[in-house]
Amino acid sequence: MMFEERIYIERREKLKKQFQTGKLLFLGNDECGINYADNTYYYRQDSTFLYYFGISKPDLIALIDIDGDKEYVFGDDPTVDSIVWTGSQPKISELAGKAGIHHTGDLSAFRKKISGLDKQSVKYLPPYRAEHFLKLNDFLGYSVAEATAKASREFIVAVAGQRNIKSQEEIEEIERAVDVTSDMHLAAMHYARAGMTEAQVTARVHEVAIAAGGNLSFPIIGTINGQFLHNHYHGNTLKEGDLFLLDAGYETPLGYAGDMSSTFPVSRKFTEQQKDIYRITLDAHHKAIELAKPGVNFRDVHLHVGEVLFDGLKALGLTKGDTKEAVANGAHALFFPCGTGHLMGLDVHDMENLGEQIVGYAGVPKSTQFGLKSLRLGRELQPGFVLTIEPGIYFIPELIDHWESNKINGDFINFNEVNKYRDFGGIRNEEDILITETGNRVLGKPLAKTIEEVESEREKAWLG
Amino acid sequence: MMFEERIYIERREKLKKQFQTGKLLFLGNDECGINYADNTYYYRQDSTFLYYFGISKPDLIALIDIDGDKEYVFGDDPTVDSIVWTGSQPKISELAGKAGIHHTGDLSAFRKKISGLDKQSVKYLPPYRAEHFLKLNDFLGYSVAEATAKASREFIVAVAGQRNIKSQEEIEEIERAVDVTSDMHLAAMHYARAGMTEAQVTARVHEVAIAAGGNLSFPIIGTINGQFLHNHYHGNTLKEGDLFLLDAGYETPLGYAGDMSSTFPVSRKFTEQQKDIYRITLDAHHKAIELAKPGVNFRDVHLHVGEVLFDGLKALGLTKGDTKEAVANGAHALFFPCGTGHLMGLDVHDMENLGEQIVGYAGVPKSTQFGLKSLRLGRELQPGFVLTIEPGIYFIPELIDHWESNKINGDFINFNEVNKYRDFGGIRNEEDILITETGNRVLGKPLAKTIEEVESEREKAWLG
């Protein structure tokens, strides 16, 4: 699937205007063998390649010659033999034509082309797959270290500037992704029961994504140990009283991501303790959505979220002292060691491969403080940005012990009280928003979020 | 998950006996970023690494020093920071200990170790992932072409000889994989209905695999265009009268594969034409199972299957002439351009990465005839081999046209009759068998296979 031709043409025109000279090299992604070359993971094209050329197919290379004002796509046509295995497939020239590209050739033509270029003139984006390094070595003679060091900052800045502002057709596509994402979460709420494994629940969520014709936008986090932030182990059995944290998203066939999190009780109802913590995360969530608008630095949104979380926990006796001072010292990060949100688009962490510093921080160095160093977005928001809002509260026993024994932020934390929550787990809700001219709009089908809404959806898991 | 320690110790002891001298290098698999480095496909360790060391974890390297009789596993321990993201994880020494390995070190220790070795003494298996090539370049200075050329034939022969004969615990694990595989197919039979997309049916099949706690052993083929053998497009809508061909398998958490195919009508019943073709494939299936036993060359099983298919189609008027002569000329391959089966174990095509010629053909060159060149197994069967049995009949319009216009095997094919089946699609049934001392045993839970059994299971799709 592709957008219509003019969209790719316009995107490339805009890109080309950023350059005076040079050759822009776009390395497509290849297949990756799981346990041998021909048993491959599902194929995913590089997002920048998708953005400018739209063709989701392995073994392609594109080149924009700024000096000669020519655009090329290179790749080998399907062989007659391959018809038996995959049916007849379009030629490269046909695919490239759909993106408005009229210069095509096979890979040996590319090899000839690049060997005739001054390699200093070839600009490329940071490689992130092993095959990219092999190609840069093959084509330009760069070692792994050189290939990383020589990626073009000018090229990164131009692409990030363009991809960060979502167009109307991109917003519609992202909204389609978020709609299915919302369905995935609702399916889990309607399905999970004590006695099931985490794998059974995540399988159901996975099914909704695949059935919709696309894929997951990232590996599912579906766990009764929500305190571990990137936990992909799904072997535990759900028990009454547990909290189930689901972080999952859909990727449309065009490659756009949705990303939501929800947290619900394995039992029919939240416990009072769970409600106390849940309400604080929702307050923080609302505060973030209230503040996110053009001109506001998202780092400030994040720090306000930290204050709401800190204040909420103070009311429960877990924290103490002056809130602003505590947050400035990073004391909230004991419970919230990650960020309030990240950019989202063709990648769930949009353009993470181009480097957070340019994409998420507009070149400004990021804080190294524990907590803040994990905030992926710390720049002024602009209309057209799409980002996640995902405050949470996590009780990580190893981290609590580490802070307590090392007396970290001891002036702000009541460790005795905190230790009563050691087995609590974690809570996160996550939605996706678009920054508009005046504020923001939450994208996609609304998902149960308040305590009452979540408990009401959970009832359906008992209706069969 | 791992087998018990003694199993890995015994496997390595057996391997070491095959070598007089040298250092055996085992490159583990790393994570592969989908669209940026940290958004990774599900992790899969290299199968030979799993076989001898059992540890499913990225960024590991193992080394067996035959001369010094020492075994090593190298990898970096988790950092304190990683606890926040993944919870506490075991150290390399702990993991290696479970496989009976007591010499461990970090990756810089490996680097020091290998830089001190004579690189001619380092034996390794054929690289199949881009990261393997990067490592062989880094550690041994080999180019991609050199890294491929210098893989150790002695090492391949030793590993293939050992892994080809399945032990009791492997057979039990494979049988667990086949049981879930059978459940996956039954779920599809109970679910598929006209109006659904292929994606919806494959999503349901995928769910069964993930819910069982493992994964797919290969990407699902689930299609109304069964004539294309490796078709992973799932965008079509099922219609009354279509045949649905499913080829899907489960991989257990220990890494062992199941692999089955089934073909069923989208409507409640097969049409008479579908029954005619289905019966022929079943006859061929039974013939293959009747013949597969120790001492028989699987190439002969395959050619007998070709004869049964050819005879069956002759009775329908699609083929003509002397059957043995036709099969010797490869005329059956118009309908059956692939192989009757392949070895299966830790890989669904077992050890395909080690090269078919040694693994499946014991070093004997394979035929280059169309059809036979796609047979992956052409050696004498031995007790302990596990393989698939998967005859099929496919009507590939492009292939029919190619043969007709090029007058290929015109003496044996009634093209006028064949053309009446242009829109038929394809049929395949597939089971997994173990070669025993006296014959073979079909592994796992039996799945509906006869016309009556399949139609009876299909009824359940209408029961809700």
Residue type at A46 in one-letter notation: D
A144 with B134: Cβ contact below 8 A: yes
CA distance B235 to chain A (A): 7
Of the candidates A245, A296, A243, A294, the one whose C-alpha atom is nearest the C-alpha of residue A270 is A243
What confidence score (pLDDT) does residue A85 get? 83
∠A132-A137-A142 over CA atoms, to 5°? 110
What confidence score (pLDDT) does residue A80 get? 73
What confidence score (pLDDT) does residue A118 get? 96
Distances (CA, A) of A292 to A380, A383, A401, B416: 10, 11, 34, 69
Chain B residues near residue A44 by CB distance under 8 angstroms = 34-35
A129 with B130: Cβ contact below 8 A: yes
**CA separation for the pair B209, B117 (Å, rounded):** 44
DSSP conformation class of A37: T
Q: How many CA atoms lie within 13 A of A407 on its CB side?
A: 1
> Any idea which residue has 């979220």 for tokens?
A305
- The phi and psi torsions of B248 (rounded to 5 degrees) equal -155, 150
**CA separation for the pair A309, A303 (Å, rounded):** 10
Tens-digit pLDDT profile for residues A42-66:
999 999 999 999 999 999 999 999 9
Confidence of residue A300 (pLDDT cuts 50, 70, 90): very high
Q: What residues of chain B score a pLDDT lower than 50?
A: none
Instruction: Report the relative pairing of strands B431-435 and B39-40 from DSSP bridges.
Output: unpaired
Domains A5-163 and A168-462 share a fold: no
Which of A30, A31, A35, A422 to mutate to probe the B interface, most B CBs <10 Å? A35
| Structure token digits, residue B451 | 């016309």
What confidence score (pLDDT) does residue B464 get? 66
The whole-number average pLDDT for the span A180-188 is 98
The whole-number average pLDDT for the span A81-110 is 92
- The phi and psi torsions of B117 (rounded to 5 degrees) equal -95, 150
Report whether CATH 3.40.50.2000 matches the domain B168-462.
no
What confidence score (pLDDT) does residue A89 get? 87
From B213, which residue of chain A is nearest by alpha-carbon distance?
Answer: A199
Chain B residues near residue A38 by CB distance under 8 angstroms = 349, 352
**CA separation for the pair A444, A442 (Å, rounded):** 7
**CA separation for the pair A363, A156 (Å, rounded):** 11
Tens-digit pLDDT profile for residues A106-133:
999 999 999 999 999 999 999 999 999 9
CA B216 to chain centre: 11
Chain B residues near residue A353 by CB distance under 8 angstroms = 33, 35-37
Tens-digit pLDDT profile for residues A356-385:
999 999 999 999 999 999 999 999 999 999
Which of B2, B27, B34 to mutate to probe the A interface, most A CBs <10 Å? B34
∠B46-B51-B57 over CA atoms, to 5°? 45
CB B377 within 8 A of CB B359: no
B210 with A231: Cβ contact below 8 A: no
DSSP B340-400: S--B-SSSSSTTGGG-HHHHTTTTPPPP-STTGGG----SB--TT-EEEE--EEE--HHHH
The whole-number average pLDDT for the span A318-333 is 98
- Closest Cβ–Cβ partner in B47, B213, B219 for A197: B213
Fold of A5-163: Creatine Amidinohydrolase; Chain A, domain 1 (3.40.350)
Classify residue B190 by burial, with Cβ atoms within 10 Å: 0-12, 13-18, 19+. middle
* Average pLDDT for chain A: 97
**CA separation for the pair A335, A399 (Å, rounded):** 9
Chain A residues near residue B200 by CB distance under 8 angstroms = 211
Tens-digit pLDDT profile for residues B266-303:
999 999 999 999 999 999 999 999 999 999 999 999 99
Sequence ranges of the domains in chain A: 5-163, 168-462
What confidence score (pLDDT) does residue B276 get? 98
DSSP conformation class of A165: S
Strands (E), B90-213: 103-105, 122-124
**CA separation for the pair A36, B162 (Å, rounded):** 18
| Residue A464 predicted with pLDDT over 70 | no
Chain B residues near residue A47 by CB distance under 8 angstroms = 35
A36 with B353: Cβ contact below 8 A: yes
Classify residue A30 by burial, with Cβ atoms within 10 Å: 0-12, 13-18, 19+. buried
| Structure token digits, residue B310 | 């050819």
Size of interface A-B (CB pairs under 8 A): 183
- Closest Cβ–Cβ partner in B129, B134, B230 for A32: B129
Rounded to a whole number, what is the distance in angstroms from the first to the last CA of chain A?
37
The ipTM is 0.96
The whole-number average pLDDT for the span A383-403 is 96
